[in-house]
Amino acid sequence: MDTTQLLKGVLDAAVLAVVAQEDGYGYDVVRRLRAAGLEEVGEASVYGTLRRLYSSGALTTYVVPSDEGPHRKYYGLNPQGRAALDAQRKSWHEFSTALTTLLETEGAAR
């Protein structure tokens, strides 16, 4: 399976989930996604997704000044984002259950 394509479909949910655990800035989210097992995720995709989620109103953003370097823009989840995450969770569950059943059934049948 081409994980890139798969990832594109679920990146929103993945990013929302990561930010839901803890607010993060761009590369921080990338790092956590990769640590969670999505190693193929591209930085640009994550940044773009963060941007889009913010524009659609699911994320808040704030700037944290830093002593060592430039200020970082942090993203956090707002109630709308939380609702979106719940919805995605649900639809993923349904989707993955259906697909798993389909794949298992086919394999089991053989």
Partner 1 sequence: MTATAVLDHVHAYALAVRAHLGDLPPDQVEDLTDGLEADLAEALQDAPRGGTDEPSGAVDLERRFGHPAAYATELRTAAGLAPRAQAGAVPRRRSPLRALRTRWDETVRAVEQSPAGPVLVGLTPSLRPLWWVLRGWVWFVVLGAVGGVLLGTYGGSLFVPDGGRWLGLLALVTVSFLLGARAPALRRGGRLVRGASVAAAVLALPLLMGLLGDLGRLAAPPEAADVWVPEDGVWVEGQQVENLYAYDAEGRALDGVQLFDERGRPVVATGQEGWLQQYVDGLDEEWLFAPTTGAGGRTLWNVYPLVGAPADDWEWGDDGPELRGQQPAAPPAPFARAAAVERPGTTSTQRSGSTDTRPGATGGRVDPPASAPGATPSDAGASQEAGDPAGAEPQPPAADPGVDPATPPPAGAVTP
- Comparing CA positions, the residue from 7, 9, 50, 42 lying closest to residue 26 is 50
The reply on whether position 63 binds partner 1 by CB under 8 A is yes
According to the binding rule CB under 8 A, does residue 106 interact with partner 1? no
* Site residues (CB under 8 A) for partner 1, limited to 18-57: 25-27, 30-31, 42-49, 51-52, 55
Told to check if 73 binds partner 1 by CB under 8 A, we report yes
Q: Report the residue from 2, 66, 106, 108 that binds partner 1 according to the rule CB under 8 A.
A: 66
In the chain the first and final C-alpha atoms are separated, in Å, by: 21
The angle formed by the CA atoms of residues 21, 22 and 27, to the nearest 5 degrees, is: 115
Place of tokens 């999505």: 38
Binding interface with partner 1 (CB under 8 A): 11, 25-27, 30-31, 42-49, 51-52, 55, 62-63, 65-73
